[in-house]
Amino acid sequence: MSNYKIQSSKFDIWTLDFDIRKMLILGIETSCDETAAALVAGGREILSSVVATQLDLHSRYGGVVPEIAARRHAELIGYVIDQAIVSAGRTLGDVEAVAVTARQGLVGCLLVGAAAAKTLSYARRIPLVGIHHIEGHVFANLLSNPTLPVPHVCLTVSGGHTMLLLVEAPCRYRVLGVTLDDAAGEAFDKVAKFLGLGFPGGPAIEKAAREGNGRAFRFPRPLLRAGNLDFSFSGLKTAVINAVRPLMTGGKPLPVADIAASFQEAAVEVLVSKTLRVALETGVKAVSVTGGVSANRRLRQAFTQACQNKGLEAFFPDLSLCTDNGAMVAAAGYARLNRGEVAGLDLDVVPSALMEL
Ligand code: KG4
Ligand code: ZN
């Protein structure tokens, strides 16, 4: 490595020999607890998407353990990339660029994906592009809904993020609101853990809530009436715990389904009403919801209904693209490469990064 020199903007993508409209991009995602890779053609067509989840590893701790997650990524990343290429019926030689989640996530986890992406970029002399994880989620929706218009308001709700964005144009965002404490998915996970429903909590709460009455408990709707567009889910989680704890000493079985349904209603109401408020204020015609929590059927139903009432269109990703995956990273990478953005081998990972505006 002695004479190896790190260099920024190593490639001029316009001088490379490929047609960007059909460009085959490998997307790599390792920001949290999914080791994922996908091959996407022309930024739209998913040829393969491989996601190795680590749920089994973390469920016994009731949440993601960063060090364990990073080690598992290191074990799996080569295999997952290989599977993504093979299952698309391609070879490594066919890959024309590599996009990787480099911003927002667990630092040890991001480093594994970035190291793999840089290695491929260097070895194959193909362009590298670093993606913000939330931009990946925005593109999950574009992948599933090619007619999704810009501008639109996009709510990203996942285990690590709750962010309200105005998508002004492809790759141009204005942050409208964020969570001030826990992310929405984190609140689902913590309430589920408290109720003994297991990890990840979102699907478990949704399942339990189906048998419950969402009006049985009146949990608070944090910051609903506040003039800003920020969220707070830690207060909601604490309110649930405070309301439920006294019931645990009575000797009667806990009304788990009612608690789950009432919590879900509170979370959904806050998410829907803040998003709709800003969509109407900004005058956009469409709203998109993305990230792991966007798989929640009650959330989808409430958004669809509220949007219909206000003459707006609601968009959600396919269920397979709600949680973390490599396809959304490849799609975002395509858009960034199309703008001539290429990273050098000095691409840094940033655990907590603002969305670029
Ligand atoms: O997007 P994602 O895979 O990872 C992050 O970027 O954080 O989201 C994972 C989160 C978890 O908190 C999980 O409980 C939540 O998404 N989730 C759900 C559902 N499916 C996954 N939350 C509510 N309802 C669901 N059906
Ligand atoms: Zn995510």
172 DSSP β-pair partners: 169
103 DSSP β-pair partners: 132, 350
Pairing mode of beta strands 24-29, 97-103: parallel
Rounded CA-CA distance 225/316 in Å is: 26
Contact 17, 354 (CB under 8 A): no
The ligand 1 atom at the shortest distance from the C-alpha of residue 161 is 7
Encode the chain (357 residues) as per-residue pLDDT tens digits.
333 333 444 445 555 556 677 899 999 999 999 999 999 999 999 999 999 998 888 888 877 899 999 999 999 999 999 999 999 999 999 999 999 999 999 999 999 999 999 999 999 999 999 999 999 999 999 999 989 999 999 999 999 889 999 999 888 999 999 999 999 999 999 999 999 998 889 999 999 999 999 999 999 887 777 778 889 899 899 999 999 999 888 778 899 999 999 999 999 999 999 999 999 999 999 999 999 999 999 999 999 999 999 999 999 999 999 999 999 999 999 999 988 899 999 999 999 887 754
Residue 154 shares a structural domain with residue 234: yes
Rounded CA-CA distance 36/26 in Å is: 10
Q: Ligand 1 mean position to 246 CA, how many Å?
A: 29
- Note down the domain range covering 39: 13-139+322-338
C-alpha torsion sign, points 143, 145, 147, 150: negative
The finding on whether 200 has its CB within 6 A of some atom of ligand 1 is yes
For the chain, what is the domain count?
2
Rounded CA-CA distance 264/215 in Å is: 10
Q: How much is the pTM?
A: 0.91
Residue 104 shares a structural domain with residue 164: no
The finding on whether 136 has its CB within 6 A of some atom of ligand 1 is no
Q: Ligand 2 mean position to 249 CA, how many Å?
A: 37
The finding on whether 49 has its CB within 6 A of some atom of ligand 1 is no
Residue 290 shares a structural domain with residue 180: yes
CB atoms within 10 A of CB 90: 17
Residue 202 shares a structural domain with residue 312: yes
Q: What is the CATH number of the domain that holds 326?
A: 3.30.420.40
pLDDT at 353: 80
pLDDT at 15: 53
Contact 97, 127 (CB under 8 A): yes
Q: Quick one: DSSP state of residue 173? A: E
